[in-house]
Amino acid sequence: MKEETALTVNSVKRNRSQNQPKQSSQEYECKKCGRKHKPHECPAYGKFYVVNVQSKPILGLKGCLELKLTERIDAIECSKISKNELIKQYKDVFIGTGEFPDELYHITLKDNAIPVIHPPRRVPQALQPKLKETLDKLEKEKIVSKVNKPTDWVQSLVIVEKTNGNLR
């Protein structure tokens, strides 16, 4: 004799929302942003903020590039402009000696700055007449001024002869 067995399967469809915990209407103090709001509703979630603090960064350059948060630009396109065009465009900058209009400029030093006096450098005899001429010209144009009294700060003079024979 043959026995027959029959299986019956009853299936019940489950709703996916049954697997998730119920949302609470209670507000909590968020550890990310410090404000009170419902769970999973943090306005700071998924956002980056740039702050000026001395700490280690969360993401480095490599991580930011991989997440496509920043874009690396390796080439910048610029138009070529000739020296003459540049001088023509900004001619007021290239005329005469640069100076502050009707103002004396005061250099402010740090409070703990220690004055330094450098010894004078030797000037070759052949360059001394050119140096005297150049210094007189600079004094006449009010670029430098003669100092006849002792000062706290003294910088040594470095002379370089240009290819055209003038001194720098």
Per-residue pLDDT of the chain (168 residues; tens, 9 = 90+): 555 555 555 555 555 555 555 556 788 888 777 788 887 787 777 666 667 788 887 788 888 888 888 877 777 777 888 888 988 988 888 887 776 667 777 888 899 999 999 998 999 999 999 999 999 999 998 888 888 998 888 888 889 899 998 998
pLDDT at residue 86, rounded to an integer: 87
pLDDT at res. 40: 76
pLDDT for the residue numbered 35: 82
| Buried-exposed string 85-120: b where 16+ CB fall within 10 A, e elsewhere | eeeeeeeeeeeeeeeeeeeeeeeeeeeeeeeeeeee
pLDDT for the residue numbered 18: 57
For residue 39, what are the CA distances in angstroms to 28, 33, 35, 42, 130? 7, 12, 11, 7, 82
Contact residues for 81 (Cβ-Cβ < 8 A; gap 6+): 89
- What per-residue confidence (pLDDT) applies to 9? 52
pLDDT at position 7 is 53
CA distance linking residue 135 with residue 143, whole number of Å = 9
The continuous run of DSSP H or E covering 36 comes out as strand 36-37
- For the whole model, what pTM was predicted? 0.43
Which tokens in the block code for residue 133?
């001429």
pLDDT at residue 164 in the model: 92
Taking the alpha carbons at both ends of the chain, their separation in whole angstroms is 122
